[in-house]
Chain A
Amino acid sequence: MSAHAAAPSQGHELEQSKFWIFVQIAMLLAVITGLELVTVYLPFMRWILFSVLVVLSTVKFMFVIFYFMHLRWDRVFCTILFFIGLFLAAATMIALLKLFGADASKPLASAAAAPPALAARAA
Chain B
Amino acid sequence: MSSEAATATIDHHFDPTTSTGIPNKKILMWAFLASDCMFFGCLISTHLIYRLHPPPGTPPARQVFSIELTSFSTFILLMSSLMMALAVNAIQKGNLKSMRWSLLTTIFFGCIFLGCQVYEFRNFVYEKHLTITNSILGSTFFTLTGTHGLHVLVGVIWLSGMLLYSFTGRLTEKQAIDVESMGLYWHFVDIVWIVIFTAVYLLEYI
A→B interface (CB under 8 Å): 1, 3-4, 8-9, 11-12, 15-16, 18-19, 22-23, 25-26, 29-30, 33, 36-37, 39-41, 46, 49-50, 53-54, 56-57, 60-61, 64-65, 67-70, 73-75, 77-78, 81-82, 84-86, 88-90, 92-93, 96-97, 100-101, 105-107, 109-110, 113
B183-199: which have CB < 8 Å to A? Answer: 183-184, 187-188, 190-191, 194-195, 197-198
Among B14, B49, B54, B85, which residue has its beta carbon within 8 angstroms of that of A97? Answer: B49
Q: How far is the CB of A79 from chain B (nearest CB, A)?
A: 9
> Once the chains are docked, how many angstroms separate the CA of A61 from the CA of B196?
12
B-chain residues with CB within 8 Å of residue A1 when the two chains form the complex: 13
Among B9, B79, B86, B194, which residue has its beta carbon within 8 angstroms of that of A60? Answer: B194
Q: Is the CB of A68 within 8 A of B71?
A: no
A-chain residues with CB within 8 Å of residue B191 when the two chains form the complex: 60-61, 64-65
Q: Is the CB of A64 within 8 A of B187?
A: yes
A-chain residues with CB within 8 Å of residue B30 when the two chains form the complex: 78, 81-82
A-chain residues with CB within 8 Å of residue B13 when the two chains form the complex: 1, 3-4, 70, 73-75
A-chain residues with CB within 8 Å of residue B42 when the two chains form the complex: 89, 92-93, 96
What are 11 A-B contacts defined by CB distance under 8 Å?
A3-B13, A33-B197, A60-B194, A64-B81, A68-B82, A82-B34, A88-B34, A93-B42, A97-B52, A105-B53, A110-B55
> Once the chains are docked, how many angstroms separate the CA of A8 from the CA of B115?
43
* Nearest-CB residue, chain A, relative to B196: A57
Determine whether B27 belongs to the interface, using a CB cutoff of 8 Å to chain A: yes
Q: Is the CB of A54 within 8 A of B27?
A: no
A-chain residues with CB within 8 Å of residue B82 when the two chains form the complex: 22-23, 25-26, 68
Q: Is the CB of A109 within 8 A of B55?
A: yes
> Once the chains are docked, how many angstroms separate the CA of A52 from the CA of B31?
30
Q: How far is the CB of A63 from chain B (nearest CB, A)?
A: 10
